[in-house]
Amino acid sequence: MSNPSEKTPTPEQQRILLVGNWLKRYSSIYPMYGKTLDDFPERFDEFLEEFERTNPEVLDLAFKAARGTCTEFPTPADVRKHVQPIAVRVMQERESAQIAAWPSKEQIASGEAVPVRQLTESPQFQSLVKKVSR
Protein backbone atom coordinates (compact mmCIF):
# COMPACT_ATOMS: atom_id res chain seq x y z
CA MET A 1 0.00 0.00 0.00
CA SER A 2 1.39 3.42 -0.88
CA ASN A 3 1.78 6.26 1.56
CA PRO A 4 -1.08 8.78 1.12
CA SER A 5 1.37 11.65 1.61
CA GLU A 6 3.43 10.48 -1.39
CA LYS A 7 2.47 12.30 -4.55
CA THR A 8 2.47 10.80 -8.01
CA PRO A 9 5.39 12.29 -9.95
CA THR A 10 4.46 14.85 -12.56
CA PRO A 11 5.17 14.02 -16.21
CA GLU A 12 8.19 16.34 -16.03
CA GLN A 13 9.54 14.51 -12.96
CA GLN A 14 8.90 11.18 -14.69
CA ARG A 15 10.88 12.36 -17.74
CA ILE A 16 13.80 13.46 -15.54
CA LEU A 17 13.87 10.05 -13.85
CA LEU A 18 13.53 8.22 -17.18
CA VAL A 19 16.31 10.18 -18.87
CA GLY A 20 18.63 9.70 -15.89
CA ASN A 21 17.92 5.99 -15.63
CA TRP A 22 18.28 5.35 -19.35
CA LEU A 23 21.50 7.35 -19.64
CA LYS A 24 22.93 5.32 -16.76
CA ARG A 25 21.94 2.12 -18.56
CA TYR A 26 23.39 3.39 -21.81
CA SER A 27 26.68 4.29 -20.13
CA SER A 28 27.04 0.69 -18.97
CA ILE A 29 25.91 -0.79 -22.31
CA TYR A 30 28.05 1.53 -24.47
CA PRO A 31 31.31 2.14 -22.59
CA MET A 32 32.28 5.61 -23.68
CA TYR A 33 36.03 5.12 -23.91
CA GLY A 34 36.28 4.37 -20.20
CA LYS A 35 34.31 7.45 -19.12
CA THR A 36 31.19 7.43 -17.00
CA LEU A 37 27.97 9.36 -17.40
CA ASP A 38 29.31 11.89 -14.89
CA ASP A 39 31.74 12.99 -17.60
CA PHE A 40 28.82 13.97 -19.84
CA PRO A 41 26.39 16.21 -17.87
CA GLU A 42 25.47 18.06 -21.07
CA ARG A 43 24.09 14.75 -22.41
CA PHE A 44 21.42 14.78 -19.70
CA ASP A 45 20.36 18.34 -20.54
CA GLU A 46 20.28 17.56 -24.28
CA PHE A 47 17.89 14.67 -23.73
CA LEU A 48 15.67 16.60 -21.32
CA GLU A 49 15.38 19.51 -23.72
CA GLU A 50 14.68 17.28 -26.71
CA PHE A 51 11.91 15.34 -24.96
CA GLU A 52 10.38 18.02 -22.73
CA ARG A 53 6.90 17.43 -24.17
CA THR A 54 7.07 13.69 -24.83
CA ASN A 55 4.73 11.39 -22.93
CA PRO A 56 6.84 9.51 -20.33
CA GLU A 57 5.38 6.12 -21.34
CA VAL A 58 6.29 6.72 -24.99
CA LEU A 59 9.71 8.07 -24.04
CA ASP A 60 10.55 4.98 -22.01
CA LEU A 61 9.62 2.72 -24.92
CA ALA A 62 11.63 4.90 -27.34
CA PHE A 63 14.73 4.64 -25.14
CA LYS A 64 14.26 0.87 -25.06
CA ALA A 65 13.90 0.72 -28.85
CA ALA A 66 17.03 2.83 -29.34
CA ARG A 67 18.96 0.46 -27.11
CA GLY A 68 18.10 -2.32 -29.53
CA THR A 69 19.13 -0.44 -32.66
CA CYS A 70 22.18 1.63 -31.71
CA THR A 71 25.76 0.41 -31.80
CA GLU A 72 27.08 3.52 -30.03
CA PHE A 73 25.82 5.69 -27.19
CA PRO A 74 22.49 6.98 -28.57
CA THR A 75 21.94 10.63 -29.35
CA PRO A 76 18.61 12.36 -28.84
CA ALA A 77 18.01 11.91 -32.58
CA ASP A 78 18.54 8.15 -32.25
CA VAL A 79 15.80 8.02 -29.62
CA ARG A 80 13.58 10.59 -31.38
CA LYS A 81 13.18 8.42 -34.50
CA HIS A 82 11.36 5.84 -32.36
CA VAL A 83 8.97 8.29 -30.65
CA GLN A 84 6.38 8.78 -33.43
CA PRO A 85 5.83 5.11 -34.30
CA ILE A 86 5.63 4.22 -30.61
CA ALA A 87 3.22 7.08 -29.88
CA VAL A 88 0.94 5.83 -32.66
CA ARG A 89 1.10 2.27 -31.34
CA VAL A 90 0.34 3.35 -27.76
CA MET A 91 -2.63 5.41 -28.95
CA GLN A 92 -3.97 2.49 -31.00
CA GLU A 93 -3.60 0.14 -28.02
CA ARG A 94 -5.53 2.57 -25.80
CA GLU A 95 -8.28 2.95 -28.38
CA SER A 96 -8.52 -0.83 -28.74
CA ALA A 97 -8.83 -1.19 -24.97
CA GLN A 98 -11.60 1.41 -24.92
CA ILE A 99 -13.44 -0.33 -27.74
CA ALA A 100 -13.07 -3.67 -25.97
CA ALA A 101 -14.73 -2.10 -22.92
CA TRP A 102 -17.76 -1.12 -24.97
CA PRO A 103 -20.69 -3.49 -24.36
CA SER A 104 -21.18 -6.16 -26.97
CA LYS A 105 -24.32 -6.41 -29.09
CA GLU A 106 -25.19 -9.52 -27.10
CA GLN A 107 -24.98 -7.63 -23.81
CA ILE A 108 -27.21 -4.89 -25.16
CA ALA A 109 -29.69 -7.33 -26.72
CA SER A 110 -29.95 -9.34 -23.50
CA GLY A 111 -30.76 -6.23 -21.51
CA GLU A 112 -27.74 -6.89 -19.32
CA ALA A 113 -26.92 -3.91 -17.17
CA VAL A 114 -23.99 -1.93 -18.49
CA PRO A 115 -22.12 0.38 -16.10
CA VAL A 116 -22.63 4.06 -16.92
CA ARG A 117 -18.87 4.68 -16.80
CA GLN A 118 -18.32 1.95 -19.38
CA LEU A 119 -20.76 3.73 -21.68
CA THR A 120 -19.60 7.31 -21.17
CA GLU A 121 -15.89 6.51 -21.60
CA SER A 122 -16.37 4.58 -24.81
CA PRO A 123 -15.15 6.09 -28.11
CA GLN A 124 -18.59 5.65 -29.64
CA PHE A 125 -20.25 7.67 -26.88
CA GLN A 126 -17.60 10.39 -27.05
CA SER A 127 -18.06 10.62 -30.82
CA LEU A 128 -21.81 10.94 -30.41
CA VAL A 129 -21.40 13.69 -27.81
CA LYS A 130 -19.13 15.64 -30.17
CA LYS A 131 -21.67 15.36 -33.01
CA VAL A 132 -24.55 16.50 -30.81
CA SER A 133 -22.49 19.37 -29.35
CA ARG A 134 -21.85 20.96 -32.75
Q: What is the pLDDT of residues 54-113, one digit of tens each?
A: 999 999 999 999 999 988 888 899 999 999 999 999 988 888 877 766 666 776 677 666
Q: Output the CA angle 123-129-134, nearest 5 degrees.
A: 130
CA dihedral 49, 62, 14, 90 (to 10 degrees): 120
Q: Are 91 and 85 in contact (CB under 8 A)?
A: no
Exposed/middle/buried for residue 36 (C-beta within 10 Å: 0-12, 13-18, 19+):
exposed
Among residues 69, 78, 90, which one has the least CA distance to residue 51? 78
Q: How many domains does the chain have?
A: 2
| 115 against 127, higher pLDDT | 127
Q: Is position 4 within any domain?
A: no
pTM greater than 0.85 (yes/no): no
By the 8 A CB rule, do 114 and 108 touch? yes
Residue 76, domain member (yes or no): yes
Residues 86, 122, single domain; the answer is no
Structural domain harbouring 115: 102-134
Q: Is residue 1 part of a domain?
A: no
Q: Are residues 43 and 79 in the same domain?
A: yes
Phi-psi region of 26 (alpha: psi -120 to 50; beta: other; left: phi over 0): alpha
109 in the same domain as 44: no
